[in-house]
Amino acid sequence: MSKPSTKKKVAEHLEVTIESLDEEGIGLATWQGKRVLVPGTLPGERVEVAVDHEGQRQMGGRVLRRMTSAPERSRRWACPHAQDCLGCGLISMDYAAQLRFKQEKVARALDAQGTQTGARVLPILEAPNPLGYRCSAKLAIGKERGKVRIGLYRRHSHELVDIGDCPLHHPLINQIASVVREEIERQGVWVYNPARGSGLLRYLAVRVSPTRNEAMVTFITAERNYREITHLAKWLVKKVPQVVSVQQNVNASAGNVIFGNQTLKMLGHPALLDQVGELRLRISPTSFFQVNHAQAERIYALVRRWAACRPEDLALDLYCGIGGIALNLARDAATVLGIEVVEEAVRNAADNARLNNLGNCRFRAGDAAELLEDLELEIAPGAVAVVNPPRKGCEAEVLKRLAALAPRVLLYVSCNPTSLARDLEMLATLGYQTEEIQPVDMFPQTPHVECVARLVPKKTP
């Protein structure tokens, strides 16, 4: 005779009290010894939750009813898509509380490493525009029951949520997405179906220049197509004349990488002309650039001020992208060398140096660690160095080779406090002391926070 199961059965609905937020801004509660993750909730709130999934140690659910509301709950920024999209984990929180959350997130990451207690963490720089600040978007395109959807995939699922007028997007992005949706339906453009691996149109990428109120649109397709995409592009430009460039990017892969290797100009300019502060920039369809222009400008200004380049200085910019930081340093330094692995971004950076009449810039494409090894004899001690790596931070070999160059000041621009704290700890073992860290709210309504850290060589006793 089998023994009766002792496993606790999960109710379809739970009533829990939110105890805290995790690093992604998701509410955490406890039920029968398991963590319960509930997006869109705040500490202290009592909520009824529908359980969507259960694991061995935790469950995830969505709010059915809120019995109590936290004092930090925002009354200003309601979004009808928030519960489905989950792309803006803090949008239910008052903006002042968001800033406190991010300041504390940076402090927690540093404390976890334990070696940077001497660093002064400055008050976070709040964003002048907490809404409508995103100047670029990569949106999935799908079809359900004959209706076209353009939006984002729900977290941890293949369900496409049509986000309509996203409150974080620049209004021009929302307008373009609306027109593209209309025209796909009207023209009967074949939308890609990832489950079947068939169809044409996969993604819509939009970049906006807020200073010029112009946009570049890229249609990502499963195969090269001229007739349908050109027809779609012509109607888009007719309805939204602010679109000055239309591109087609071909991505035949079966994975979830958005861009493929081939990009074709369909209409208008080959790149988007933009401006951030004093700099004019040409941005190609697939190159990375910051989504928040106002805060990017403040970071560029801070890096330039903290670098304090002298007329005789060489400045090194690792992970330079299209050259935003490098070109700002070039206004003061004798020479600036930018290193970036993406060849198209390097071409953009060189083009942008010419566009701004900055002839003292050089850019090289390749692996950062390998190029730093090549530069050991070329760069004398006392240079200025800036690193702006992706979320995973710098490889240990990059930090070792960078410290071996003995820069007199090292600036680290990071979009991930955890990897920043780890790399600052390693730089401390390599002889560099972190003096100041400036958090910047680059992404309001989300849990992400940017930081700029200033390091100098440790003083010998």
Alpha carbon distance 38, 62 (integer Å): 6
pLDDT tens string 411-425: 999 999 999 999 999
Same fold, 13-71 and 136-276: yes
Give me the residue spans of the domains in the chain: 13-71, 100-128+292-457, 136-276
The CATH architecture assigned to 136-276 reads Beta Barrel (2.40)
Could you tell me the pLDDT band of residue 85, with boundaries at 50, 70 and 90?
confident
Instruction: Please say if the pLDDT value at position 7 is more than 50.
Output: no
Indicate the average pLDDT of the chain: 91
Instruction: Please say if the pLDDT value at position 109 is more than 50.
Output: yes
pLDDT at 258: 93
- When mean pLDDT is compared over 54-63, 81-90, 380-389, the highest value belongs to 380-389
pLDDT at 77: 63
Instruction: Report whether 154 contacts 86 (CB < 8 A).
Output: yes
Could you tell me the pLDDT band of residue 377, with boundaries at 50, 70 and 90?
confident
pLDDT at 136: 96
pLDDT at 88: 87
Please identify every residue annotated as catalytic: 415
Could you tell me the pLDDT band of residue 121, with boundaries at 50, 70 and 90?
very high
Instruction: Please say if the pLDDT value at position 430 is more than 50.
Output: yes
Instruction: Please say if the pLDDT value at position 5 is more than 50.
Output: no
CA torsion angle for 401, 407, 410, 416 (degrees, to 10)? Answer: 0
pLDDT at 320: 95
The residue-averaged pLDDT of 226-248 equals 96
Instruction: Please say if the pLDDT value at position 147 is more than 80.
Output: yes
- Which phi and psi angles does 439 have, rounded to 5°? -70, 145
Instruction: Please say if the pLDDT value at position 393 is more than 80.
Output: yes
pLDDT at 140: 95
Top-level class of domain 100-128+292-457:
alpha beta
Binding-site residues, please? 290, 319, 340, 388
* 410-to-120, 235, 338, 387, 393 alpha-carbon distances in Å: 16, 49, 15, 8, 15
pLDDT tens string 273-321: 999 988 999 999 988 888 999 999 999 999 999 999 999 999 999 999 9
Alpha carbon distance 28, 37 (integer Å): 5
Q: What is the pTM assigned to this prediction?
A: 0.92
Top-level class of domain 13-71:
mainly beta
Binding-site residues for S-adenosyl-L-methionine, please? 290, 319, 340, 388
Instruction: Please say if the pLDDT value at position 115 is more than 70.
Output: no
Could you tell me the pLDDT band of residue 6, with boundaries at 50, 70 and 90?
very low
pLDDT at 2: 45
